[in-house]
Amino acid sequence: MPHYIFLSPGMFGFTRLASFGYFSHVQRALEARFRNAGLAVEIQVSDVLPTASVRRRALRLAELVERTATGDGPIHLLGHSTGGLDARLVASPGARLSKSPETAHWLPRLRSVTTMNTPHYGTPLASFFATAKGQQALYALSAFTVVGLSLGQRPLAVAKVLMSMIGRTDDALGFNLPALDRSVASVVGLVDDARSPEVRNYRKAIREDQGAMLQLSPEAMDLVVAGFEDRPGVCYQSTASMSPAASYKTWLRTLGHPVHSLSLSLFTALHAITASHDQRYPCARLPADVAPGTFDTTEATLSQSLGKSPGLQDSDGCVPIRSQIWGTLVWSGFGDHLDVLGHYRDDTPERQLELRHHDWLTSGSQFSDASFESLMDAIVTGMLNSAQTKGAER
């Protein structure tokens, strides 16, 4: 009887894009750990709309589970970033995602919901992307994503085009749209995979539906926190990370690498925006959200892994670390928003291309193989424990 794991990508998420799998490293790590435990596992990735509303994304996830979890084995949901909210909404007892009650027949088999770097209490970055200037930046970042993930390569020609694109901005209005359109077209034209239908559809989806940008603002998530319910008997676990602001040593390491320098510039801008916060909507758990006895445990976990108790301004570059905690915090450490997926710098030349780790955003977080392995160990331990606990209750 296999376990079924369903993965939901985050913002800018996809199943495969430009020969690159969003969850490739996570999926490989999960499969290896279940295999080592002597257990069969089937893993599926939800084909979400990258920036669509959480409800639309959650409906796709629910339909995938309904369609493919045909056996009797335990079911686990794992979401990264916005994908964690998709998973929580699917599991919520009060959710109304479909008119047919038959689509929820699998819910009694649900054992765990894992959220990785999820903005449970919102993120200031979403508020920025909802502005006119943020819309232009969002479009530029989508182009950078396409290029940066193409076979893990970042050609020098691409760096030159992107550098010129960033240089042609209007201080008052943000990016100059006509120039940006031409630059993005030039960038995409430099990458063969970027001409594929899947990439065209990806960029089109971002332009046409950005419902999540409004929903992930701290103000909107304040309402979501009040409305989402945890399903009784299901293990809710989370992982959280933060990346310090770039130091001069981090910048020095990008000398001679124009694309890494550009990537670090983008990350630094995102990190600065995410550090802002409103005291009325602090992107953090309120006392009423914390179960008795768990606060001290969570703080001890954070302090031990980070060497301090993180503040409201600390983040992974996209989500404040205090916003990432929901349920039991099973892992925390240093890493940016995409490092935790296995997208971190790997300079080992002898590895096969599909096994290598490629840094999606340069942050200087020093996330490593050891960090990734411990993160995956913690997640799988929680999944297996949730299944054993439910089995013992029966």
Per-residue model confidence (pLDDT) at position 250 = 80
Q: Which residues contact 376 (CB under 8 A, 6 or more apart)?
A: 26, 29, 30, 33
Pick from 123, 127, 125, 93: nearest CA to 107: 93
Give the rounded distance of the alpha carbon of 29 from its chain centre.
Answer: 17
* 228 lies in the same domain as 260: yes
CA dist 287 → 250, 279, 290, 328 (Å): 37, 15, 6, 15
Per-residue model confidence (pLDDT) at position 252 = 81
Decide if 242 contacts 334 (C-beta within 8 A): yes
* 9 lies in the same domain as 54: yes
Per-residue model confidence (pLDDT) at position 351 = 58
* 244 lies in the same domain as 343: yes
By DSSP bridging, strand 20-21 and strand 110-116 are unpaired
Per-residue model confidence (pLDDT) at position 357 = 66
* 153 lies in the same domain as 164: yes
* 222 lies in the same domain as 99: yes
* 227 lies in the same domain as 163: no
Other beta carbons less than 10 A from residue 156's beta carbon: 9
* 239 lies in the same domain as 298: yes
**Which stretches of the chain score pLDDT less than 50?**
99, 151-184, 187-188, 190-194
* Residue position matching structure tokens 């077209």: 185
3-class DSSP assignment, residue 111: strand
Per-residue model confidence (pLDDT) at position 288 = 65
* 36 lies in the same domain as 67: yes
CA dist 70 → 44, 97, 257, 342, 344 (Å): 13, 20, 49, 29, 35
* 327 lies in the same domain as 357: yes
- Nearest 5 degrees, angle CA 191-CA 361-CA 241? 150
Q: Which residues contact 387 (CB under 8 A, 6 or more apart)?
A: 3, 74, 111, 112
Q: Which domain holds residue 167?
A: 131-209
Per-residue model confidence (pLDDT) at position 128 = 86
Q: Which residues contact 220 (CB under 8 A, 6 or more apart)?
A: 122, 214
Give how many domains the chain has, as a whole number.
2
Last residue of a domain, one of 145, 180, 209: 209
Per-residue model confidence (pLDDT) at position 251 = 80
On the CB side of 42, CA atoms within 13 Å amount to 13
3-class DSSP assignment, residue 8: strand
Q: How far apart are CA 21 and CA 61, in angstroms?
A: 17
The single-letter DSSP state of residue 123 is -
- Nearest 5 degrees, angle CA 29-CA 380-CA 108? 120
Other beta carbons less than 10 A from residue 3's beta carbon: 24
Q: Which residues contact 14 (CB under 8 A, 6 or more apart)?
A: 22, 47, 48, 50, 198, 202
Query: Where residue 81 sits, what CATH number does that domain have?
Result: 3.40.50.1820
Name 174's bridge partners: 170
Last residue of a domain, one of 158, 192, 209: 209
State which amino acid sits at residue 72: D
Decide if 154 contacts 147 (C-beta within 8 A): yes
Last residue of a domain, one of 192, 209, 226: 209
CA dist 63 → 13, 131, 247 (Å): 18, 32, 45
Strands (E), the chain: 3-8, 16-17, 20-21, 41-45, 75-80, 110-116, 169-170, 174-175, 235-242, 328-334
State which amino acid sits at residue 372: F
Convert the pLDDT of each residue in 30-85 to its tens digit.
999 999 999 999 999 998 777 778 888 899 999 999 999 988 999 999 999 999 99
* 242 lies in the same domain as 345: yes
* 292 lies in the same domain as 379: yes
3-class DSSP assignment, residue 232: coil
* 30 lies in the same domain as 112: yes
